[in-house]
Structure 1
């Protein structure tokens, strides 16, 4: 969620042919058609405990323009809930990032390679330099995704947040900005290897295929493919990369489950929108919630 927020703040040039294309916003008529005819995408569970139900939606933080609209099952879940819970409300992000101390410098060689990639993405000089290294890489990855028509502004969690704000629906953050930043940043000893590996993917044009595969798996609700993500993402090939991926995904699931359980236990009927990779693996959110006494019923993909 931090990454999607930051992408909206980037100044992206478009004069050069090699620049990632800026997303084309739909017309009012297009948006109305897509909203009315949107199919079900992603993963959805009903979670019940204490005499009432909430819903758990596995979202994708990027999407295509026509993916951003809720299908019938998600619309029904919206109608049956009263609070939207997300990893992080972007409204919480700005002040914390503004007060964040400048990131420690990377080794000069890595900093230069990052700068080259930023220029290839047509970002203004210095746009990323104040951010932690992993957020810089996340921004560059999101810019690369634009070459295949994906954009953070079309992620369904972003659209759900916009709808909640327009309707005055309460929004609950399941994490703090500080917690997300801590999870995203590798240990100091691991950082150079992870930055190097991600830069190699970007420089060789190898970032796009795993993202396309991830997006397709999410769109189909293919939980098996999502569970195997570390095997095919080319982002977990070294011990440092595997340790970071575990920390940024699996290790966050326990606290996320506890906060969902606490909000639900307070009587709130929640629509919880969390990244789909948190729904897979040995510490998947649906499994952890079942261990906390929830009845967990899969709704999407439809059987």
Structure 2
């Protein structure tokens, strides 16, 4: 049930207590494909997976060392002589996914503004996510065995006791979903929405929100405390069973390869519509929100702006998806093919202060490693071809 969220809702921050509130929508799997991205700066502890920043210390993991590849789902929507772009995102990702691919980057450059579900860098707009929850509500919903289950999951995720205690109860549980995927190299910090926002701002392109944080919070809490409690229990079940981690990895892989057909059949295989509460949540996350998202995109387009709208990928598929809704409003909508290529390491220059002898030794070592890799057959044909297109360093080694 929670898996949907990584494709449905968004957010980002710096300290765990603050960021968790503002970015919780990007934590559940469904929210990953239906929302935004968030940043949890947790230090690696013991057997816990490293934080996003710490993961970049691994060999070959640095973002700048990878060629960009197109991933996700992209549509072009034309009306009134102007083009709008619809890009289906995921709210967590891998370090090598951070840089937008050439097709996506070109579409963003041809736009006047970037539209996201939420502008998570606007502290005023994000206040509903960061404000303290009613202590009485927290006491009613997180007590007894439910509180002990949550404490065990926080400990397993290396979240210090009390870090999320002031959050709305459902947010306290959802905040763990983004941490589960760290073991598979998936982090909210590397989500597509966040990468696009950075790219837009670096190019002085305005960023707009299509929704409000208050509306998203209302969507998550449901219509009653009983419904919120049911969702909390379901989320804890998925965390304890390991189902959540497996689902998030599968959804991330589906998004990365742009498998729109399988994504459109999500209700058939997600195992997330088994109870009335889950069915109501799905309706709130997708069907109830899509018309409002379409309204926002249409308003921006009517104002004369060429908008690049990036929202969770599950908002894009099916008869109630944004491409279908905009087509019904007179837009000429067409899918733009995206073919994700295997990431190829971009060669880096040798250290500027290296001595002649040291530089020669480094080149010899790299050559030996490259020869060993080639002999062992570990480099695929597709990767080798992509590497041929990448600029080679003076040593002519392909990394």
Is this a same-fold pair by TM over 0.5? yes
Taking CA–CA contacts closer than 8 Å with sequence separation of 6 or more, which of the two structures ends up with the larger relative contact order? 1
Aligned pairs for 1:59-98 within 5 A = 59-93=89-123, 94-98=126-130
Equivalent residue, structure 1, for 2:63: 31
Unaligned runs of 5+ in 1: none
Q: Is 2:167 the partner of 1:137?
A: no
Cα deviation, 1:16-60, whole Å, max 9, x if unaligned, reads: 21x2321213799943342xx222110001111111101110011
Provide the rounded CA distance (Å) in 2 between the counterparts of 1:291 and 1:143: 39
Provide the rounded CA distance (Å) in 1 between the counterparts of 2:256 and 2:235: 25
Cα deviation, 1:109-168, whole Å, max 9, x if unaligned, reads: 322211221111111111122222332222111000111100011111101111222222
Structure 1 residues 11 and 57 mapped into 2: Cα distance closer, same or farther (>3 Å)?
closer
Provide the rounded CA distance (Å) in 2 between the counterparts of 1:264 and 1:38: 28
Cα deviation, 1:216-256, whole Å, max 9, x if unaligned, reads: 11111111211222333333221211211221122110100
| Count of aligned residue pairs for this structure pair | 299
Unaligned runs of 5+ in 2: 1-8, 14-18, 21-37, 340-399
**Contact 1:10–1:123, Cα closer than 8 Å, also in 2:** no
The match for 1:49 among 79, 95, 110 is 79
Provide the rounded CA distance (Å) in 2 between the counterparts of 1:28 and 1:142: 23
**Contact 1:13–1:123, Cα closer than 8 Å, also in 2:** no
Structure 1 residues 156 and 98 mapped into 2: Cα distance closer, same or farther (>3 Å)?
closer
The match for 2:159 among 93, 117, 123 is 123
**Contact 1:113–1:199, Cα closer than 8 Å, also in 2:** yes
Equivalent residue, structure 2, for 1:294: 331
CA RMSD of aligned residues (A): 2.2
With normalisation by structure 2, the TM-score equals: 0.70
Provide the rounded CA distance (Å) in 2 between the counterparts of 1:260 and 1:11: 32
Structure 1 residues 182 and 228 mapped into 2: Cα distance closer, same or farther (>3 Å)?
same
Larger gyration radius, structure 1 or structure 2 = 2
Provide the rounded CA distance (Å) in 1 between the counterparts of 2:100 and 2:142: 44
